[in-house]
Structure 1
Amino acid sequence: MTAYIPYGAYWSTPFARWQGSFSHLHSIEFAAHVAKSALAARSLTPETFDFAAYGMTVPQYRSFYGTPWFTALMGAEHLAGPTVNQACATGARLVATAMGEMAVSGVETALIASGDRTSNGPHAYYPAPDAPGGTGQGENIVMESFNRDPFAKCAMVDTADNVARKLGISTEEQHEVASFRAEQYAAALADDRAFQKRYMEAEFPVPDGRYRKTVKTLQGDEGIYPASPEKMAALKPVMPNGSVTFAGQTHPADGSAGMVLCASEARAQEIAPKSGPVTQVLAVAQGRDELAHMPAAPIRAAKRALKVAGLEIGQIDVFKSHNPFAVNDIAFARAFDLDWKRMNNYGSSLIWGHPQGPTGLRAMIEMIEELEMRGGGTGLFQGCAAGDSAMAVILKVG
């Protein structure tokens, strides 16, 4: 089974560092608000679609209703569909979900979208009537998910330190990657953000919580700090006996993104909002690494995706990754004998942030646009996720 992405039928908001300009917005309501506007701007109506799936990883008030609520808010009350959560692999999982529906139920045109707000994460209480005194357990869902894998018994940063230790990756090399990734992101801001404007609004209006007025306007991502090799060199590792500093890892953020997929190339050409090449999904695959080695998991996912697509690594023109740690890119490049400088042109989550669910969608959107600028070719997206897991997607443009 394959799927096709109409050129220009995708979008992303800017990403705002947590507790920033999107921190007051309910992620489902905000994603529906963004999707409704984005589809209208592309002359795509709700009737265009016969399937939808929404991805989220941080619960919101009444998010139990998930995708049916999201679609209803954007005016597509005929669309049901699953609500998807695979941590930071949610974007890739949404692609696989849509393709699965095309294979088993004849879906022709699917809308996938994701939104997450790591800001102001919920605090949950789980009753335990059989515990002493009936005392239950409390959880800060965002912070504790970052800091405690219930099976591996460690924080996510520990998994990066483990991979760095295993492969002999120094703090200095991690900082070199982070500095270079910042330069690549700067290229997306050149010429008045010419690259980002290919898929993101030039001026993004931030609504109030009731969506009645605009409270401010963002011109691109918010809260990104300039890279400074001198300041990086002065940083100490986050964990004792570790090598990963705050400069070598991403930051939590808020945002949303969306994409349209079609079951046939003809359908994708028919509804494409602007002239350009159709993108074909060649493969989607997942993988899982050894315990507490999350940043290495994309290696296994990518190998499996390449096998499904019948390709060798040398046939990939563009590489894009969800890289919550600089360690991710170094480990991946070593595994495939690549120069990590070939990866992540125009930006990556290491720099523009980590709202979890929509992160992979944005990376794939940027990969499509880079491939279009090259005149076509094949791209590989890969990214890790909680539980030492990962997913990979291979796309062909033109």
Structure 2
Amino acid sequence: MQFDHVFIPYGAYWSTPFVRWQGSFAHLHPMRFAAEVTKRALEERHIGPEVFDALFLGMTVPAKHSFYGAPWLAAMVGAPEISGPAINQACATSARVIGDAAYEVEIDRERCILAITCDRTSNGPHLYYPNPLGPGGTGEHEDWVTDNFDFDPYAHNAMLQTAENVAAEDTISREEQNEVTYLRYQQYQDALKDDAAFHRRYFVSPVEVKDSSGRKKLATVLDDEGIYPTTPEGLARLRPVHEGGTVTYGAQTHPADGNSGLILTSQEQARQLSRDANIQVRLVAFGQARARKGYMAQATVPAAQKALQEAGIDIKDVKVVKTHNPFAVNDIYFSRKMGVALDSFNNFGSSLIFGHPQGPTGMRLTIELIEELVMRGGGYGLFVGCAAGDTGAALIVHVDAK
């Protein structure tokens, strides 16, 4: 899908820090939390909610009252007259939310859409499905987060197994995975330099976390929480999760909690809402693909290729690449097949290190993509990530920094 008339106002996007599950955000309702963050972000950017024509919500883990989706969230952010869809496409949710919202702007250039992605993997719902025909009328049950990590009903494998499948087929060793994990950890340290100057370009921070009454402050979150120090020696000591495998807990991401948001609109309105009218951010293309059953990490390559084809450019034309990499295997495979050096992409961090709240992961990475492009004087950028169901999704953006 190609876009010619869709723009993201520079700076009209934001993200919370990501907090490892069962951390400081573990008790916060994801939609209420996203509403609080969005209201604050809009106020800080001097953008009134009356400018929006629709709200697109991306969320993958159900929460109480999430049945009411985008209309409820829109009301909480101060725009009770608008509505929109709620989208769940697993880890591709952010890319799909952005792509779908962009399509609506492309066909109606007067529209201004607020896109919000949020998830709380902590304390995910424990669901009971009635089955009157079961033994004694006993139903079935599911732990929404952990059970779906562990079992794909089509491929009949855990997500971890998809990484092992790709590692075996493409001869990706445990040592290579450790090297890439440490590289990604080092890149993330660059985002923390100068009092986390890179994160301060787009974070809503500090976040004061309160109890259910809203009166007692439990914590203040300044930056990503729950990231363990990583060393080559420490990675080497870890054993593979599966006997005879190659993937350790160190070479994969961790579930997390958080939310992100951004605005999509016309060129003229983007200029009006931008923090710097001399910087133009255009969404160029969206692409998606599916790998064969049980090989999720491979899906990023055809997804990226489709987005590049839609944009009419080659990977050599891309200045900045960001990937959602739940496993180090993902980046090794992508590097080999796309012909890009491992140390040339995922500057300032990736989900392998800062965690994975599912819905907002790709949106935060897209925001980081835009900011790095601005820092480097503009050009094309690619975001791509894999998702449950052996799928992948990709976005191409172009930044003109005059």
TM-score (norm 2): 0.97
The answer to whether the 8 Å contact 1:126/1:138 transfers is: yes
Residue from 311, 314, 321 that aligns with 1:312: 314
CA contact (8 A) 1:101 1:107 kept: no
Residues in 1 aligned to 2:278 and 2:127: alpha-carbon distance in whole angstroms:
46
Question: Which amino acid in 1 is paired with 2:171?
Answer: G
The aligned counterpart of 2:73 is 70
Aligned residue number for residue 399 of structure 2: 397
Match of 1:19 in 2: 22
Alignment of 1:98-177 (within 5 A): 98-104=101-107, 108-177=111-180
- Aligned partner of 1:295 in structure 2 is 297
Aligned twin of 1:330: 332
Give the whole-Å Cα distance in 2 for the aligned partners of 1:207 and 1:132: 44
1:9 to 9, 12, 30: 12
Q: CA deviation at 1:121?
A: 0.7
- Structure 2: which 5+ residue stretches go unaligned? none
Per the alignment, do residues 71 and 214 of structure 1 end up closer, same or farther by CA in structure 2, a change over 3 Å counting?
A: farther
Whole-Å Cα distance in 1 between the matches of residues 205 and 78 of structure 2? 25
**Counterpart check, 1:203 vs 2:209:** no
Percent identity between matched residues is: 51
**Mapping of residues 271-290 of structure 1, within 5 Å:** 271-290=273-292
SS in 1 for 2:23: coil
Give the conservation status (yes or no) of the 8 Å contact 2:105–2:264: no
Cα deviations across residues 226-254 of structure 1 (Å, max 9, x unaligned)? 11211111111111221100011000000
Read off the aligned partner of 2:198 and give its amino acid letter: F
Q: Distance in 2 between matches of 1:108 and 1:258?
A: 17
* Contact 2:119 2:258 (8 Å CA) reproduced: yes
Q: Alignment length, in residue pairs?
A: 397
Instruction: State the 1:100 CA deviation.
Output: 2.2
Verify: 1:87 aligned to 2:90, yes or no.
Answer: yes
**Cα RMSD (Å):** 1.2
Task: Tell me how far apart the structure 1 counterparts of residues 224 and 64 of structure 2 sit (CA, whole Å).
Answer: 26
Equivalent position SS for 2:192: helix
Preserved CA contact (<8 Å) 2:379 2:399:
yes
Q: Report 1:219-368 matches (<5 A).
A: 219-262=222-265, 264-368=266-370
Asked if 2 retains the 8 angstrom alpha-carbon contact of 1:326 and 1:350, the reply is yes
The ranges of structure 1 where at least 4 consecutive aligned residues each deviate by more than 6 angstroms after the TM superposition are: none
**Range that drifts further, 127-136 or 335-344:** 127-136
Deviations 1:39-64 (A, max 9, x none): 11101111011111111000001110
Tell whether the 8 Å contact from 2:16 to 2:205 is kept in structure 1 after alignment.
no
AA matched with 1:9: A
Cα distance in 2 for residues equivalent to 1:63 and 1:371: 35
Residue number in structure 2 paired with 1:49: 52
Q: Which segments of 5 or more consecutive residues in structure 1 lack a partner in the other structure?
A: none
Task: Give the C-alpha shift of residue 74 in structure 1.
Answer: 1.1
